[in-house]
Structure 1
Amino acid sequence: MTTDGSGLLILRNSRSGTAVIRTDPAELFAARLPGARVHELSEGEDLADVVDAAFSEGDPPRVLGVYGGDGSVSRMAGLARRHGVPLLAMPGGTFNHFARSAGLEDVETAVAAYLAGETIEVSAMEVREGDGAAVFALNAASVGAYPELIEERDRRRRRLGKWLGGIVAAWRTMRTAEPLVILRDGRRARVWSVFVGVGTNDPKRVATMQRENLEDPVLDIRIHHARGTRLRAITSLAFGKRTAAVLRAVRLMPEKRDVERLLETDFTMTVRPGPGRPEVWVHDGELEEPRGEEFTLRFTVIPGALTVFAPPPH
């Protein structure tokens, strides 16, 4: 960490948060981090390729920074861990779940933490599908209704945009969602969804997208058993505090007995989608397509996975 940003590589994902009006941080970077190298990802350019190329040069970065949404931040976090350097995460997406959990409500706060040398040690998790390579995740991974909704939204995103595409996807998923079967510890269950979040989350929610604790080396698992309606399956995906509170007040959230909560450091399940259902799972907003109709996911927590610049927790 330097007072002018020397040794800092910042990657900007201009495609993140396209539905949100944001102030361009270019002037802030130039004024407060004049020594930083800022690279804007072009169409089709891979974030990992840019970072790996930078580390192959004679003067590799000492800090990795990213301005983007949760998917970009999660990928950069995995690269920071791989290269053994701290992460500067700056909110530039639509929801910014991780940045908000870290108290980074805006770019100015993130830059101030970097310049002050304020850091926290963040736990994360690895998700492995069968014997495949491990996927790094900062917030959560899920199967069921949420990945189905994301897949529907992404189909319509280019034509309708993220927000309108999301509304149409929610409406369609509300009409067509079906339970899937999971197997764990020799038991079989029909579920609407399973969320595996890193760190403790609000115990009243199903969608564990917003971490309440960045340091706890624990997986907070919510299994929404398929005993309620499709409407409740979709409304259970609300992760905003106010939205969830309103839905709870009008009795649209799942009943407490329908949601099983587990706190583990390691969790394995086999997923069997129903006939004609999407064979997908999602981590930090990024879709993955399994290699077979039935697939097994193993989630493992990583204590102190990486160092992140952030103000001290309150």
Structure 2
Amino acid sequence: MDAAQNTPAEGRRVLIVRNVQSGTAVIRSDPGATFAERLPHAVVHELVEGEDLAEVVGAAMASDAPPHVLGIYGGDGSVSRMAHLARQYDRPLLAMPGGTFNHFVRALGVDSVDAAIDAYETGSTVEVGVADATADDDAPLTVLNVVSVGAYPELIEERERRNSLGKWLGGVAATAVALQRAEPLTIVRSGHRARVWSVFVSVGRNDPDRVATMQRQEAEAGVLDVRIHHARGSKVRAFASLAFGKRSAAVLRAARLFPRDADVERLVVPELELRVRPEQGHPSVFVHDGELEQRDPGGFILRCVAVPRAVTVFAPLGER
């Protein structure tokens, strides 16, 4: 559906799903008052634990008055799942920052709920490229920022096992354990085998000085920017490579803890296929937009394909 055909009318025929589990690591004001004031006719649904986003949206689309716009208030994982549904139902996406990092919406210049609603009310949109990520024979997943295998997914897997400690303490404990247990994994690409610490597959071209490309840098992405960190350095360098902030990376480079440029291979390609083989006793996992995916032990085949202009997203003018 063309976003320009939708008239704001204070949120009429807009579905907004709030993921109340997102952003628990940061203090955020409740957006309920903003929704009520600026989008009084929107349907706002709070996604509770155990509820499936696809089922909520599917029920709304099957109703007598299906939404013209799909809105989401949550983190990158929630936004990527709603983007997948926006593609499925051919609806524009109203994405609002409600998570801890909000990499995707920040890349589009959406730094607040009000900024997203401003773009919606003026009909300002951008056609956003995504990646389709497929593991073995599963259905493709919509990726907005990055897909990763190796050290970062293992760190996330350790952190999720320590949820009872809270996000901060759990993260510290997970980093300590992951650093101790870390081992390179084997990938096979185009018939060539390599031992690597990590692979990051970013949607669109990204900062050439980073290894962990967590946040996309462009909207209309038609390629994948791949960083392969070969296992020639230490475990410390492997985890130092996960620093995705410019300041953190600069400090680590100055301390000579960051991976050497010769150890990081960069590819800019329209698609990529990897056979991933973790070491025995290590989890068979990958991460997309902060969401952990478990695979059968022994490894899996990961395919990523760039899909330009895949979803229409409300964003401020000039964010192209």
The bucket for the TM-score relative to the shorter chain is: over 0.9
> d(CA) in 1 for partners of 2:80 and 2:281?
31
Q: Which runs of 4+ in 1 moved over 6 A?
A: none
* Aligned counterpart for 1:146 among listed residues 144, 152, 161: 152
Unaligned runs of 5+ in 1: none
Deviation at 1:312, TM superposition (A): 2.4
TM-score using structure 1 length: 0.97
> d(CA) in 2 for partners of 1:133 and 1:216?
22
| Percent identity over paired residues | 60
> d(CA) in 2 for partners of 1:132 and 1:101?
29
Partner secondary structure for residue 162 of structure 2: helix
Single out whichever of 290-299 and 7-16 deviates more from structure 2.
Answer: 290-299
1:172-206: CA deviation from partner (whole Å, max 9, x where unpaired): 11121100000011111000000111011111011
> d(CA) in 2 for partners of 1:277 and 1:174?
13
Matches within 5 A, 1:36-185: 36-157=42-163, 159-185=164-190
* Contact 2:157–2:292 (CA under 8 A) maintained in structure 1: yes
TM-score using structure 2 length: 0.96
Q: Which amino acid aligns with 2:17?
A: L
Deviation at 1:292, TM superposition (A): 4.5
Deviation at 1:227, TM superposition (A): 0.5
* 1:31 paired to 2:37: yes
* Correspondence for 1:197: 202
Matches within 5 A, 1:208-223: 208-223=213-228
1:60-87: CA deviation from partner (whole Å, max 9, x where unpaired): 0000000000100000000001000000
Q: Which amino acid aligns with 1:12?
A: R
> d(CA) in 2 for partners of 1:97 and 1:288?
19
Deviation at 1:275, TM superposition (A): 1.3
Partner secondary structure for residue 136 of structure 1: strand
Q: Which amino acid aligns with 1:249?
A: A
Partner secondary structure for residue 10 of structure 2: coil
Partner secondary structure for residue 161 of structure 2: helix
Unaligned runs of 5+ in 2: 1-5
- Counting matched residue pairs gives 313
CA RMSD in angstroms, aligned pairs only: 1.0
* Aligned counterpart for 2:211 among listed residues 200, 206, 210: 206
* Correspondence for 2:231: 226
* Contact 1:220–1:261 (CA under 8 A) maintained in structure 2: yes
> d(CA) in 1 for partners of 2:293 and 2:74?
20
> d(CA) in 1 for partners of 2:91 and 2:195?
42
> d(CA) in 2 for partners of 1:166 and 1:312?
37
